[in-house]
Structure 1
Amino acid sequence: MDLLDWHHGRLSSRRLAVLVRHLPRDSALARELHGEGSEWTVTDHLLAQVADRLAEANWMFAMVHRDEDSEPLEYPEPVSRPGRPTGPGDEDDAGSPAGMPSQEELAVFFRL
């Protein structure tokens, strides 16, 4: 496919828009527009969320069953996600805690 076809009238603007809209996730355009996040699927985000919850559950279990005179354990770090801060207590631009989706992202995910 040559973009000059669009310039010369052999490719309609609609067809070009459809081709661009349906580019694969790993295309150069998707990476340029969305960065590393373009490679993450919903499954990847859900799996990272499951890993975070499992680490928290293990931390809670260890805290409850530790010796009383031992030091408290550090809270587990969340799995790093593209475009998200990862430090404890960090917040993203929307004010959500690190690793947690914002209300807008949840609404889009659940199509509310």
Structure 2
Amino acid sequence: MGLGPGGRRPKILSLLDFLEQHFEDVEFDLRRYLGVNLVEEIGSESLTWRMLGSFIERLPLDSALALAQAKPEERQWDMRNHLLATIADRLAVSNWLAGNMLCAWSKEGSENPVPKPEPIPRPGVEAPKKQRGMKALVRAMGAPV
């Protein structure tokens, strides 16, 4: 097909090519987020081609289309899961620090301190190397070193 004004390809042709490759994901996302049947409503007043293009450009990160285009390790966890794992890791370290401090201050003390909790494994992220000493303690508390 020819080029449009300014020597660019018309957006609708690019959208058609995109739909040819990702129709099922777009169809699923339209149904999921808007309750719209793509096959029945495309080109109507309720779903114009321009509206469809705008919708596709603004899909959330957990949409079927975004997940289909993501790298394999990105498909397993979204940002929300990474943030929840970080919160859980920090809470576990805080509890570990508080528990060890209470044991150290008690009369009995603890000859065998509780080992530091391991972070929740994240897909596509290598586990950090073990660190020891004061810098490791400061890092575990989340403070800059």
Deviation, 1:49, is 0.7
Unaligned runs of 5+ in 2: 1-11, 23-56, 132-138, 140-145
Trace 1:1-112 onto structure 2 (pairs within 5 A): 12-17=13-18, 24-27=65-68, 29-30=69-70, 34-66=71-103, 67-86=108-127, 88-89=129-130
Change (3 A) 1:48 1:69: closer
Unaligned runs of 5+ in 1: 1-10, 91-96, 98-112
Asked whether the 8 Å contact 2:76–2:123 carries over to 1, the reply is no
Q: In 1, distance between residues paired with 2:129 and 2:100?
A: 18
Q: In 2, distance between residues paired with 1:77 and 1:87?
A: 10
Q: In 2, distance between residues paired with 1:56 and 1:63?
A: 10
Q: What is residue 34 of structure 2 aligned with on the other side?
A: none
User: Percent of aligned pairs with the same residue?
Assistant: 29
Asked whether the 8 Å contact 1:77–1:87 carries over to 2, the reply is no
Q: In 1, distance between residues paired with 2:110 and 2:76?
A: 46
| Alignment RMSD | 3.3
Count of aligned pairs between the two proteins = 78
* Length-normalised TM-score, structure 2: 0.41
Deviation, 1:87, is 5.3
Structure with larger Rg: 2
Which structure has more helix as a fraction of its residues? 2
* Length-normalised TM-score, structure 1: 0.51
Q: In 2, distance between residues paired with 1:36 and 1:69?
A: 41
Secondary structure at 1:12's aligned position in 2?
helix
Per-residue CA deviations over 1:28-53 (Å, capped at 9, x if unaligned) read x43xxx11322322211110111001
